Structure 1
Amino acid sequence: MKDFWRAPLRGVIFLVAITGSTLAQDRTTSPLEPTPVSPERIAVGDVADDEQIARRLTAILQSTSWFESVAVDVRDGVVFLDGLTDSPEHLAWAEQLAQRTEDVVAVVNRMTVLERAWWDFSPALAELRLLRAKIIRSLPLIVFSVFILFLSWWGTKAVARLARTSFEGRYGSALMVAIVARLVALPIFLIGLYIVLQVAGLTSLALTLLGGTGLMGVVIGFAFRDIAENLLASILLSLRRPFRPNDLIEVTGQIGIVQRMNTRCTVLMTMDGNHVQIPNATIFKNTIINYTANPNRRSDFVVGIGYDDSITAAQELIAQMLSEHPAVLNDPEPMVLVEVLGASTVNLRIYYWFDASRYGLAKLKSSLQRLTKRKLTDANISMPDEAREVVFPQGVPINMAPPPTGSTSAVSPSIPTPDPAPPAPPPDQENYAEEPVSMDAEGHLHSEAREVQEQAATAPTPEEGEDLLR
């Protein structure tokens, strides 16, 4: 019964011993050094004596340069190993080497593993020497790769230049010409890069890069969403061109003259001389008012006259003044309309058209309101304020006459009814002629755009880069 279990038990012990030895070897293998492999059997001759075995093992151990102070002693087939080594792997390798030598009965391994000091840089130096050797062997390949990359870069520039010249007349946008030229030239560089990776044996890396382009594009799109949005908006704005350089536009409440547009924003110079940078995505998604697209512009102002004055006469006087003003256009014809019957005045709204490229809005409105006031004043047409006011030019007389005979009422003053206002005299043309159309204080009515442009020419531009509007 004991013999029945002895054989299987020996087999299990043998398997466990082999598995443990294998796991120990796997754990002690260093990733920085190659795993030493011992030959199956080493022959030393037909009849191996102790001295031959010692000489053979000593020569092999010394040739590896893994051991120091190597001493091999063989007595009746028993090998005694002495010396120093730098790793447990080399120690186990020497023992296996001695065991597989012919006519060796047993091995006594008395070698010592040296512990490396923390200042020992020999592994790093060994890796550097290995890297230097690899670089020297790969030097022809590196030179060829650099040549291919330079050739592909030169070809890309040449194709982009040719494409830019070809598409410059078809697209009015400089940005679109640049983008189309780069898209046409990009395959040249990609082909050169693929050839370099193929020659270097990095085909899998090339396929990985090509396959991961979509995923990287998604990641970059989320990370740089605002930048991509502004870039796309700049492309669409450069194609549609809702405004041009030096146009007076209004976007999101900002009014200014367009200075430049890059891939991020559009720069405006406000009428106050300030630079305003508006992101292109904001401009594209909001309402754009271009005051320069049509030079003719309409404006208006309100004037109130008294209830006792003739509305028709006031309208004719203001219309005559508008028709005689050199800055007001006769086509479309100006209008003087009754807007509202207020508490104390009849409000007239005056509409007029003018050339905004030549005249300033604020200056012209000042001139027209000044002339309107003079015209109505000369015609004795009142312009009262909001409080109702009754004027008695002759004063308020008090009648102290006694009451009629037989009346017992007390004496009370009587307030006479004021005399009706005299008819309005005809307009004083001579006085009106003395009123100048424009004054030095009003800046002579010319547009402020020229002054703002002069300020912009001398001011530094806050946003650098290629101007996409040129």
Structure 2
Amino acid sequence: MVPQSPIPVRWRTPLLALAVIVMAAVAPGTVRAQSEAEDGARSGRAMADNVPVKPEAQDSQIQARLQRILEASGWFTDPKVEVREGIVFLDGFSGTLEQSEWAGALAARTEDVVAVVNRIEIEPDIDWDLSPALQEIQKISTAAQRAVPVILIGAVILLITWQIARLAARFMGWVLGNRITSPLMLTVVSRAFAVPVFVLGLYLVLQISGLTNLALTVLGGTGVAGIIIGFAFRDIAENFLASLLLSVRNPFRAGDLVRVGEAEGIVTNLNTRSTVLLTQEGNHVQIPNALVFKSVITNFSSNPSRRGDFSVGISYDDRTSEAQEIVEKVLTSHPAVRHDPAPIVVVDELAASTVNLKVFFWFDSDTHSPIKLRSALMRQTKQALLDGGISMPDEAREVIFPQGLPIYRGEPGGKPVAPRRARPPRRVAESDATSAEGGLASEEDDVLREAGATRTPDERENLLKGS
């Protein structure tokens, strides 16, 4: 016999619906409370449900108990437990997060523990596994082995292209050798035909290697790279362009005696950066080509016929025309002075104590030294003027009395005594050249011979060679 329920049948369905509604309302709170409990356990922090006012276990007992448990587990490094008013503070290091959470849960389950502060840190796990590195090395090795054929083909193409470029440069140099006289211009033009050949070979190598974009960048970025390099090396580019213009204009040749600004010497070298002069003292002077191109260049060797000059002062009491004739005779009689153009002697200045004569003469600078010839002519002129009775007073220390100075003896007003006449100067024949002057030959050969043993400061190719 089946027992009957005390609830009437008509009330069963409403009561069942009411139970479902109540369970639906209570269930979220239960689930939320369970979730919060789980989160608290995972974070290593837990609180007691009921905090006793008078705990049975002391803080020191809890601390000692937890300290022994953590040390006995062997999972922690330098574990430290501190308990204050039922709150457990955990410090130390653990190998994994699970071990740290286990320590927090252990402390939370301990008797009379109010809360747990888990400060156990996780030690980083150093992995000494070298297999990833070995795998990467193996990948690189495999890629390198696959690239060996491409590298060999590219090297062969570059070598062939380099040889073709050199042959092209030599061919253009042979073709243009009779039309371009400047060695530098010939080199630049011939290499200008060789550069495109080498760039084409480089493009083929990049194309074979599968670097199509890089190949296009190389071809398209050549102009941009040239501009950038030009700005970075502006001074070098300026000197190089100046060397091109100097080699085209050719204002001097190797061995010419020139003056560039304040520097004077014999041209020994012209390269892409500087011009080297050898001074009369045997020193090498390097002048940047840009400065040479902008400076005033005086070439003493361009015309071997050169004019020299010097000055001489005579007394106001002497006949100027007579002194001019004496000096002219000295010049015309000297073998180093050219008769065409003829030497001239002019009055240059009426000074305080002298009449200054300016002497001009022409000579061959390839044969005779300017300073030696000037010394010889001044020496002969001085002696010829003295022999001719022409005085040359000193402007600062000498006073000339042409009529003499009367001397009185005895009382003032006595008869003056006529001054004693000076002896005429002794005539001496001056030679055209003396050993002290070293002759009249040009000293350029001596300078070059003495400096021949020295090393040129710039060992690069001389662009004046063969000019």
Distance 1:117 1:462 in 2: 62
Distance 1:392 1:330 in 2: 36
Q: Which residue identity is paired with 2:335?
A: P
> What residue is the counterpart of 1:317 in the other structure?
326
Alignment of 1:29-178 (within 5 A): 117=126, 120-178=129-187
* Structure 2, gaps ≥5 residues long: 1-122
> What residue is the counterpart of 1:463 in the other structure?
458
Secondary structure, counterpart of 1:444 in structure 2: coil
Kept in 2: contact 1:400–1:413 (CA 8 A): yes
Distance 1:355 1:120 in 2: 91
Task: Evaluate the alpha carbon distance shift between residue 185 and residue 314 of structure 1 in structure 2; reply closer, same or farther with a 3 A threshold.
Answer: same
Distance 1:239 1:356 in 2: 26
Distance 2:228 2:304 in 1: 47
1:14-71 per-residue CA deviation (whole Å, 9 max, x = no partner) reads xxxxxxxxxxxxxxxxxxxxxxxxxxxxxxxxxxxxxxxxxxxxxxxxxxxxxxxxxx
1:255 equivalent to 2:264? Answer yes
Distance 1:460 1:223 in 2: 31
Query: How far is 1:396 from its partner?
Result: 3.2
1:283 equivalent to 2:278? Answer no
Structure with larger Rg: 2
1:72-93 per-residue CA deviation (whole Å, 9 max, x = no partner) reads xxxxxxxxxxxxxxxxxxxxxx
> What residue is the counterpart of 1:60 in the other structure?
none
TM-score by length of 1: 0.68
Kept in 2: contact 1:392–1:418 (CA 8 A): no
Report which stretch shifted further, 335-344 or 137-146: 137-146
Q: Which residue identity is paired with 2:408?
A: I
1:234-264 per-residue CA deviation (whole Å, 9 max, x = no partner) reads 1111111100000000001111000011111
> What residue is the counterpart of 1:356 in the other structure?
365
Task: Evaluate the alpha carbon distance shift between residue 120 and residue 384 of structure 1 in structure 2; reply closer, same or farther with a 3 A threshold.
Answer: farther
> What residue is the counterpart of 1:38 in the other structure?
none
Query: How far is 1:133 from its partner?
Result: 0.8
Report which stretch shifted further, 121-130 or 284-293: 121-130
Kept in 1: contact 2:405–2:419 (CA 8 A): no
Identity %: 46
Q: Which residue identity is paired with 1:282?
A: L
1:389 equivalent to 2:384? Answer no
1:292 equivalent to 2:287? Answer no
1:196 equivalent to 2:205? Answer yes
Distance 2:330 2:262 in 1: 33
2:434 counterpart (422, 425, 439): 439
Kept in 2: contact 1:246–1:453 (CA 8 A): no
Equivalenced residues, count: 342
Query: How far is 1:301 from its partner?
Result: 0.7
1:124-179 per-residue CA deviation (whole Å, 9 max, x = no partner) reads 32222101111222222222212211111111111111111111111111111111
Distance 1:444 1:216 in 2: 60
Report which stretch shifted further, 348-357 or 124-133: 124-133
Distance 1:438 1:368 in 2: 9
Distance 1:438 1:223 in 2: 58
Kept in 1: contact 2:166–2:194 (CA 8 A): yes
Distance 1:348 1:331 in 2: 21
Kept in 1: contact 2:350–2:356 (CA 8 A): yes
Task: Evaluate the alpha carbon distance shift between residue 392 and residue 157 of structure 1 in structure 2; reply closer, same or farther with a 3 A threshold.
Answer: closer
Task: Evaluate the alpha carbon distance shift between residue 121 and residue 318 of structure 1 in structure 2; reply closer, same or farther with a 3 A threshold.
Answer: farther
> What residue is the counterpart of 1:239 in the other structure?
248
Task: Evaluate the alpha carbon distance shift between residue 414 and residue 223 of structure 1 in structure 2; reply closer, same or farther with a 3 A threshold.
Answer: farther
TM-score by length of 2: 0.69
Q: Which residue identity is paired with 1:390?
A: I
> What residue is the counterpart of 1:207 in the other structure?
216
